Structure 1
Amino acid sequence: MSSPSVVAGPPLAEEPGQGAHTIAGYLREVAARYGPREAVVLRKGDHRTAWTYDDLLTRAVEVARALVGCGIGKGERVGILMTNRPEFLSSLFGTALAGGVPVALSTFSTAQELDHLVRASQVSLLLFEQQVIRKHFGTMLHELDPEIAKLRPGALASVRFPYLRRLVSLGGVQGEAEPMAVAAGGAVETWDEFLSHGARIEKALVLERADSVHPSDPGGIFFSSGTTSLPKGVVHSQRAFAVQWWRWPRLFAMHEPVRSWTGNGFFWSGNVSMVVGTAFSTGGTIVLQRMFDADEALDLAERERVTFLNGRPHQWARLQASPKWARADLSSVKYVPRGELIWQHPTVSTQWEVPMSFGCTETMTICTSFVADAPEGRVEGSFGTPLPGNFLKIVEPISGSSVPVGTVGEMCIKGPTLMSGYLGKAPEECFDAEGFFCTGDAGRVDEAGRFFWEGRLTEMIKTGGANVAPIEVDEVIARIPGVKRTQTVGVPDDLLGEMVVACIVPLDGALLDEQIVIASCKEEIASFKVPRRVLFFRDEDYAITGSEKVKSSEVRAMAVARLDADNAEAVRPTLA
């Protein structure tokens, strides 16, 4: 009889390269190692902002002193709603130094989503960038709760946001074509006003607070779409952040200071984990891009001699389409996850190969992996073995019992980087009786303990590296007049992995078109969740009764067939 599919990684204590296992401890350790080196860079136009490791620690302590001065206690949550700018990092580490819990909030949020995030996270203080492209978060907050305009800073008592006491607004960054003044007033204060609250707080008090934090204490919260209609708050421990930060250079075989670029938000766990870890754990530099722009990204890669690009395949395609692509000097680039398109550039000559890895938001990115410079043991299709401290099992989804080696079942994981739980959920709603998180992903293990991913058991759509819950999209579409039935699915796409496609049955006589549906979705949900295509069908196509939904696989097949037919029609030559 085959052995059960249960695999253990090496003990965490034996993993080389590990250091302090708190967020503040991590920053203090890398600052002690690399103090005067350049840690963070932000370019806007001809203006270049650069912080050393010593600068970052000083700025983080400054934020921590302000938080202490504002009355933030241990374990209280501080919301960070910002693009990629140095203040995001000083806020993240500063909150940890003060003993608080940073909560990363998406700058893609609509008013409805922001309302949910602030209420669900129960943040006591919100540090927010006033305007991001056309989103004015100050206006959103005032519209969500008009009381914000009537009260003074520090005196906010909001029925809608019962835990929120302070709001702090940041303007634009130096070098922008049109610097934006910060509209404070009412309960909102400026960044400088916020920092002034720490004037009488001694640095020694902040460091004593940081020393009192334990690796098992809450370290941060990210939001991820789940099987429900609203994003779920994922709570991670201090050590989940630190363990991953320390291990990235080992897994990626990085043996020199790495200059890590990102144009994706730090409100995604994978981004903040990989970019911070690859840069700071090697004594390198984070090259920030506030929001992704292909032309600017190429310029930054060349001018800042970037070695690590952390993006997504559809972004690489946009780089290739840029008029700057052909003449860009990308000779410094060495590390690019999923970077086949980048490797085609004539100036890129790296021999590095990304190690196949598996993970999710709940495991603070990866939990199984190969090591880049250890090719032995690699097997085509495998995502490696459990990382140190992790335990993996494959179970029969209904009974939860382990299946034999080689048998496909549901992949379950536990270990030092597994989430502490979901906000508002009891442990038994998050983990099985043995403490494993059951991922909803199908997979198997071989005799050597290597994990093979076989697809998803859930209906989650993974598009451009982000998760989209179909029910969240369907609830928005269902409110559009004229919609009788809607079912959103993910359709395979070369660039995005999966493309979000809405399949709709209109009411008889209703006049709906694709652009109306897309425009309605853009008003209520983040851009990456908005359907790229909207397809219309008849009741007969679905062959269902009542309000039941057919299997997503069947709807997906319908969508693929329709899109293939449309594409064939589009390329059919016109006959003379």
Structure 2
Amino acid sequence: MPDTIDALVRLRAREDPAKEAVIDPSARLTYADLDQESRRLAAALFAAGVGKGRRVGLIMPNRTEWVALAVAVTRIGAVLVPLSTLLQPPELAAQLRTASVQFLITVEEFRGHRYLDDVAAVRADLPALREVWRADRLPSQGSAPVDEIAATVTPSDTLAIMFTSGSSGPPKGVIHSHGNALAAVRSGMAARCIDADTRLYLPMPFFWVGGFAGGLLSALLTGATLITEEIPQPETTLCLIECERVTLFRGWPDQAEALARQSSSVGADLSSLRPGSLPALLPAELRGAPGARANLFGMTESFGPYCGYPADTDMPRSAWGSCGKPFEGMDVRIVDTDSGEPVPAGTIGMIQLRGPHVMRGICRRSREEVFTLDGFYPTGDLGHLDADGFMFYHGRADDMFKVSGATVYPSEVEQGLRTIDGVHNACVTEVDGAVGALVVSARTVEELHAEARKVLSAFKVPTVWLVTESDDDIPRKATGKVDARALRDLLATVR
């Protein structure tokens, strides 16, 4: 199996050139198109100074053009640095500095952000930055020998720097090689239920590992077709699912719930969706029982999920509510949060990862700062492994708190709240020593409190509530993760 992007694109163009690789509402590329267009762009970029090891930032919403540019950059050995379209100017400047970006390709404007103006304002503080190109005004000509250049790229060469952040602290520039990234995605393919016949819709932006790995690279590795759009909205997404005969919908559960409600009112045809899609969009007979199917679990440092179970298959009853089992190639252990010593099965502790699929490192940090002496990466996540090797997630170590001496894991409370009828999402944190919850629901606080007492221990039942009918009211960072500090501050206003 190919272990560089160039080799992978060549394989797809050779084996199935006419098959559609990526589709957006206004354009589509076959695998032959992707090979030819990325080759043209690669030659032009190389002629303009983008060579092996050069770091290229890309700011652009999901579209076929993003895919062609990403492939062009990486197939000649340059390092792709996908940057969020949500970044505010100080955040953008910080990430450009952290990754030492030398070339930046950006759309002029998207959703009110004017990136060229943002970069111009801080250009003096970005000594590594050599060129800034508008996406519609890229170098257009070049006669570089792309084949010869691509032949020098090896699996150990850096593929991308992906930015992430935890619930607190600055974003991290996570370094992945061609080999480790492709192997990580390949290891989870069966759990994702993606194969050559899949027509995959995935709403995650390509600048997140969920979109880049779970969407683009999953499609390339299997020869599937990826359907995407810049700004997912129920009306446009339902149209894409129906018109493009999408077979697999992966993404956010709350989005699936919103689509399911909308589809019933407009009569959208979702019959092309198959098991493995998010259950809200499937008929009842194709869904698993609540908790029976794994929630794929991973992180940017592992280049996506490192635990899972086939998304169309119920797990053993004892494993319900788990994240499935670690994928082949990933060594997972649970250690005591204080001593760092491994703990017995069934004991909650810090999750640590090791293996060839884990990141190569983090920008501007030494290996000793990132990994343990025996090569494990401390994730900051809490979990336990049962006797059969299934992993259960218990939240972030820095999110755990105590109420009247009892330990509360926000993820457990969130999972309990999400089982309540009419709850579409829930985020939980500590508020002045109490359990606080922001819940997306049309039900009243009194109703939610009464239902929560049926599914949670008394000390876990929230006493601080904020109820909203829109998921947009959940405070998030530019990476899409819940902003725990902002959530805590928001809930403190209603205490």
Q: What TM-score, normalized to structure 1?
A: 0.68
Partner of 1:59: 37
Rounded Cα–Cα distance in structure 2 between residues aligned with 1:376 and 1:109? 39
Aligned-partner Cα distance in 2 for 1:236–1:270: 14
Structure with larger Rg: 1
Once the 2 structures are TM-superposed, how far is the Cα of residue 129 of structure 1 from its aligned partner? 1.2
Counterpart residue number, 1:29? 11
Q: Match of 2:304, as an amino acid?
A: T
The amino acid of 2:134's aligned partner reads S
Aligned pair 1:41/2:23, yes or no? yes
Q: 1:324 to 1:291 in 2, by over 3 A?
A: farther
Structural mapping, 1:534-545, within 5 Å:
534-536=490-492
Provide the residue aligned with 2:151 in structure 1: 211
The corresponding residue for 1:162 is 127
Q: State the match for 1:360 in structure 2.
A: 299
| 8 Å Cα contact 2:204/2:210 also seen in 1 | no
Residue pair 2:22, 2:226 contacting (<8 A) in 1 also? yes
Greater RCO between the two (CA within 8 Å, min separation 6)?
1
* 2:366 corresponding residue in structure 1: 426
Any gaps of 5 or more consecutive residues in structure 2? 402-409, 419-423, 433-473
Provide closer, same or farther for how the CA distance between residues 133 and 349 of structure 1 changes in structure 2, counting only shifts above 3 A.
farther
Aligned equivalents of 1:29 and 1:341: distance in 2? 36
Alignment match of 2:427 (pick from 487, 498, 502): 498
| C-alpha separation in 2, matches of 1:408 and 1:119 | 37
Q: CA deviation at 1:104?
A: 0.7
Under a length normalisation based on structure 2, what TM-score does the superposition of the two structures give? 0.79
Q: CA deviation at 1:323?
A: 7.4
For 1:400, the equivalent position in structure 2 comes to 340
Task: Select the residue among 371, 387, 405 that pairs with 1:447.
Answer: 387
Q: Which residue of 2 aligns with 1:12?
A: none
Question: Tell me, what secondary structure is at the counterpart of 2:332?
Answer: strand
* Distance in 2 separating the partners of 1:497 and 1:23: 38
SS in 1 for 2:266: coil
Please tell me whether the aligned partners of residues 358 and 366 of structure 1 are also in contact (alpha carbons under 8 angstroms): yes
C-alpha distance in 1, partners of 2:428/2:385?
29
Equivalence map 1:462-501=2 (5 Å)? 492=414, 494=418, 495-498=424-427
Question: Which of 70, 84, 91 is the aligned partner of 1:113?
Answer: 91
What is the rounded CA distance, in whole Å, between the counterparts of 1:269 and 1:251 in structure 2?
17
Q: Map Cα deviations across residues 68-108 of structure 1 (whole Å, 9 max, x no partner).
A: 11122321111111100111111111111111110010001
| Pairs within 5 Å for 1:8-407 | 19-44=1-26, 49-145=27-123, 159-170=124-135, 190-191=137-138, 194-196=139-141, 198=142, 200-201=143-144, 205-226=145-166, 229-322=169-262, 325-335=265-275, 339-343=278-282, 350=286, 355-372=294-311, 379-407=319-347
Measured after TM superposition, the shift of residue 526 of structure 1 is 7.5
Q: What's the CA shift for 1:397? A: 1.8
Q: Which runs of 5+ in 1 are unaligned?
A: 1-18, 146-158, 172-189, 462-488, 504-520, 538-558, 563-576
Q: Distance in 2 between matches of 1:307 and 1:384?
A: 23
Question: How much is the aligned-residue C-alpha RMSD, in angstroms?
Answer: 3.2
Query: Bigger CA drift: 241-250 or 393-402?
Result: 241-250
> CA, structure 1 residues 303+373, in 2 after alignment: closer, same or farther (shift >3 Å)?
closer
Query: Equivalent pairs: percent with the same residue?
Result: 29
Hey, what's the Cα distance between the residues in 2 that align with 1:219 and 1:256?
A: 24
User: Can you list the C-alpha shifts for 1:234-256, whole angstroms capped at 9, x where unaligned?
Assistant: 11111232123434442234455
- Equivalent residues of 1:264, 1:291 under 8 A apart: no
8 Å CA contact 1:244, 1:277 repeated in 2: no
Is the alpha carbon distance of 1:372 and 1:319 closer, same or farther for their aligned partners in structure 2, counting shifts above 3 Å? closer
The superposition leaves residues 304-351 of structure 1 with CA deviations (integer Å, 9 ceiling, x where unpaired) of 1111222212222332454775311111112555x232225xxx8646
Check conservation: 1:110, 1:523, Cα contact below 8 A: no
- Matched positions, count: 433
User: Residue type of the partner of 2:309?
Assistant: F
Name the CA distance, whole Å, in 2 between partners of 1:262 and 1:239: 23
Q: Which residues of 2 match residues 452-463 of structure 1 at below 5 A?
A: 452-459=392-399
